[in-house]
Every structure is written in C-alpha cells, then in structure tokens.
Structure 1
Amino acid sequence: MAKKATIDNRPLEQDVHKKYVLYFRVSTKKQGESGLGLEAQRAYIDYFYKDKRILAEFTEIRSGKTIHKRPELQKAIALCKREGATLVVAKIDRLSRNTENALHIYKELGERLESCDIPNLDKFTLTLFMAIADRERVLISIRTQQAVEARRVRVGEWRVGGANAKKAAAGLRGAQLSRELAEENENSRRASAFINMLRSTGKTYEQIAEQLNLAGFRTPRGSNFHKMQVQRLIKRIESN
C-alpha cells in the first residue's frame, strides 16, 4: 500500500476531500463519566484532524477485548463502509487490543483506517504496533504483580498466623492496589506517548505541559504539569 504524504505527521492538503468517522473508547463507566480518558483521545484527534471533514463520531464505554459486543464500533464501521469514509482513532488500542481483531477491522474497512499514534498506517505497521502493544501489556502485568507483592511484604499484610479476617481484608487491599497500579501504568503509558508525539512537532517543555493539562493528564499527586516536571519526565522516558 502506498504511503500517504504528510507534514508533521498530518495529512497534506491533497486529502481535504476525504471523509472521516471518529471513534472513541474508554474501558470503564468511571472513565467515561470523568472525561479524562476521552479528553486525552480528543486532544490527539483534534490536533491532527481539526480541519478535516468529519461525518460523525462514536463513543463507547466498553472493554477492548472483543469487537462483537461494541455496538458503537459496529455503527462507525457501517458508516465508513456506506460513505467510503476513513475510521480514525486516537490510539490503536482504542480500536482493539487484539492483533487479529485489528487486522480484521482493517480489512473490513478496505484499509481506510488511521490512528494518531501510527503515522502512515498500513498492514505491516499495524501488525508491528499491535505486537508491541501486546508485549507491553504482558510486561505491565508482570510489573504490577511484582509491585503488589513488594507492597504486601513491606507492610506485613501476609504475616504467618494472621487472622482470616485480616487476610481477607489484606486481599481486598491487594486487589485495589492492583487496580490502582494498573491504571497508573496505563495513564503513564498514554502520557508518554502523548509527550513523544508533541516532541516530534518541536513543542517546548512549557508547551508540552500546557497540552498535557488541556488533555486532562495529571501528575501522580493530581496536580497540573509544569515545565520542570515535563523535563524530568522526558529524561525518565529516555532512560528506559
């Protein structure tokens, strides 16, 4: 498939007559109500597609494990097929977390699929990025489990001879910690991808901090980002 010419990873003017359908997805009702996950996705798409011809947008609050139980996605695909439009997602994992499913949708759309985190998307890059994302999910799961176990040892939640009630309570705390760590890892991954995208366009630390705040990202303490925090975060990203 021929590569699409771009400027700053954005489509050239020759694409002005193309039609687009936007698809947003968050995994939980809490994310949907808070708007944080949706704000980040919208910031990506607004940056790249703000001057494009948008036919419609669809928002789904559902897990990405299956594509068959996602009515909004099916509506978006149907509209794209009917109008010859291109489906757009902010990040490819918003479409699917499964390589086979993503490739199935790509084929069903007649290869009319674009993702803000994959410039010049084609079958090869789609397969590659999905494989990398799948590997990253495995590593996140491993790191989360290790962090939970380290926390349990550190605070003594699983001391031998403890009462059953105490163990049960510790188990609940451990499960909650697992969820919090998983969410923190996912937010960190999204923020890192967003920062890398902004850096590729030549944004300054101050401009990146402003865009992070506008997109709904917050520091681990729940505060807005500032220039020095962005600089430290970029150094940490580069050292990994």
Structure 2
Amino acid sequence: MQYVLYFRVSTKKQGESGLGLDAQRAYVDHYYTGKPIIGEFTDIRSGKTISKRPQLKQALALCQQEGATLVVAKIDRLSRNTELALLIYRELEGRLESCDIPNLDKFTLTLFMAIADRERELIGLRTKQALDQKRLRVGEWRTGGPNEKKAAAGLLGAQVSSEMADDNENSRRASALIDSLRAGGLSYPQIAQQLNAAGFKTPRNCTFIATQVRRLHQRALLLKKTGY
C-alpha cells in the first residue's frame, strides 16, 4: 500500500508560523513513519470546498493515478462538511485514512463528520456572537434616524434568509447521514436515535422521531430520482 499525505491550515498566518501544521505532522509521523509515502500536499485554505484547494485536488489525482491511500492527521483537516467528505471517500473507493479514526469506514466517517460539521456551525455561531457584542460596544447599532425602520427590516430579512438556509443545510446533512445509516441496515427508530445523539435538530428545533426520519429519507430518494 502506498500513501499520499495531505495537510491543511485555514490561514496564511498559520501556514507561515507552522501553527497547526507541526501538530498534524506529529500525528502522521507517529503512525506512518517507515511506510511508503509517494506524495505530500499542503493547502492554506478554508475547508469548505475542494475547488479552492489546489493541493487537495493534486493529492486526489495522485491517489487515483497510483491507487494510493489518502492520509490526514485529523478528519476535519480534510473537510468539516459531511457531504464533501463522503464524496471524497467514494471517489477514492474507500482509500482514506485519518489518524484520529482507527479502522475508518463509511459508517464511522459519517458519524465523525456529523460531529465535525456541527463544530463548524458552532464556530460560526461563536464568531457571529463575538462580532455582535463588538458592534454593541462601539455603538454601531444606534437608534433613530430616517432609515432606522428600513435598516431594521433589512436585518430581519437577512436573519430569516439565514435561518432558512441553515434549515436547508441541516436537512441535507441529516439526509446524507440517514442514507448512509439505512444502507448500513439501521431502522428508522435507530436512525432517529443516532441523529439525536449527534446533535441534529428538525427545522423546528426538535429532536427526531422515526416518522420524521422516514419522511426525510423518502423525500431525499425522490429528489435523487427526479434530479431536482
């Protein structure tokens, strides 16, 4: 078996200082020293997409060309997006290893990615809360003035749009997990328990029950069938 190493940090500052990269290399060196490494790639990019990570695309191309296994130190260095991680897993036909997940397979990848996905959401929420507090401290949200109602309406509209987008994104992630768990033979009640344990919520911020899981799964199957 041959291996291709992939590292990622989110900012240029981290890349220049080695912050984050050193820890990732320590993980990989511990488990893969002495094994046949045919390539090493490092991106200084966000983990949201593949298109903006040229080094990852090169790493994947090399893996496919040589039949090699892609190695990451932690699964969130590959991505914090469940669908993206599963797409990479399928493209590599399962030739993916992560130092923080022994015996990685599709089932464990889906569960760990759901947790990483949730952490990405929490990071965004914490960042937004910190910015809101800063705006309050510097007095950016002043009252009064002729455009106050218009500004308030704009903020409300943006908030509603954001909440709708979050609901759709949560549903897509839940659907991906449901599809994987159904393929693994789990029943709808069992899947509802898995979703709740992973912190998923329905669009109304409730826990999942078997009926909702079945409905979401059937809708996802219909979308796949119709292509919409």
**TM-score, length-normalised on structure 1?**
0.54
**Change in 2 beyond 3 A, CA 1:86/1:144:** same
1:38 aligns with 2:13: no
Taking the aligned partners of 2:115 and 2:2, their CA distance within structure 1 comes to: 29
Cα separation, 1, equivalents of 2:88 and 2:141: 50
Cα distance, 1:159–1:78 mapped onto 2, change above 3 Å: closer
The structural deviation recorded for 1:112 is: 0.4
Superimposed CA distance per residue, residues 3-26 of structure 1 (whole angstroms, 9 cap, x where no aligned partner): xxxxxxxxxxxxxxx211100111
SS at match of 1:57: strand
Question: How far has the Cα of 1:156 moved from its partner?
Answer: 6.2
Secondary structure, aligned partner of 2:20: helix
- Distance in 2 separating the partners of 1:78 and 1:141: 31
Residue of 138, 142, 148 corresponding to 2:125: 142
Displacement of 1:132: 0.8
- Which one-letter code corresponds to 1:68 in the other structure? S
Q: Which has the higher contact order (CA 8 A, sep 6+)?
A: 1
Aligned pair in 2 of structure 1 residues 139, 70: CA closer, same or farther (>3 Å)?
closer
Q: Any conservation in 1 of the 2:81–2:116 contact (CA below 8 Å)?
A: no
Give RMSD over aligned pairs: 2.2
Structure 2 partner of 1:76? 59
Structure 1: any 5+ residue segments left out of the alignment? Answer: 1-17, 162-240
Cα 1:31–1:135 shift into 2, 3 Å: same
TM-score by length of 2: 0.57
Are 1:89 and 2:78 an aligned pair? no
Structure 1 equivalent of residue 103 of structure 2: 120
Cα deviation code 1:50-83 (max 9, x no counterpart): 1221111011122211112322111111211222
- CA offsets 1:149-205 (integer angstroms, 9 cap, x no match): 45666x5655858xxxxxxxxxxxxxxxxxxxxxxxxxxxxxxxxxxxxxxxxxxxx
State the Cα distance separating 1:128 from its structure 2 match.
Answer: 0.9
> How far does residue 109 in structure 1 lie from its aligned partner after superposition?
0.7
- Deviation of residue 34 (structure 1)? 1.1
Q: Partner of 2:218 in structure 1?
A: none
Following superposition, the deviation at residue 144 of structure 1 comes to 3.5
For 2:89, the equivalent position in structure 1 comes to: 106
Q: Measure the CA separation in 2 of the matches of 1:156 and 1:83.
A: 56
Count of residue pairs brought into register by the alignment: 144
Q: Give the CA deviation at 1:36.
A: 0.9
Where do 1:1-240 residues align within 5 Å? 18-150=1-133, 157=139
**Using the alignment, how far apart are the partners of 2:13 and 2:133 within structure 1?**
28
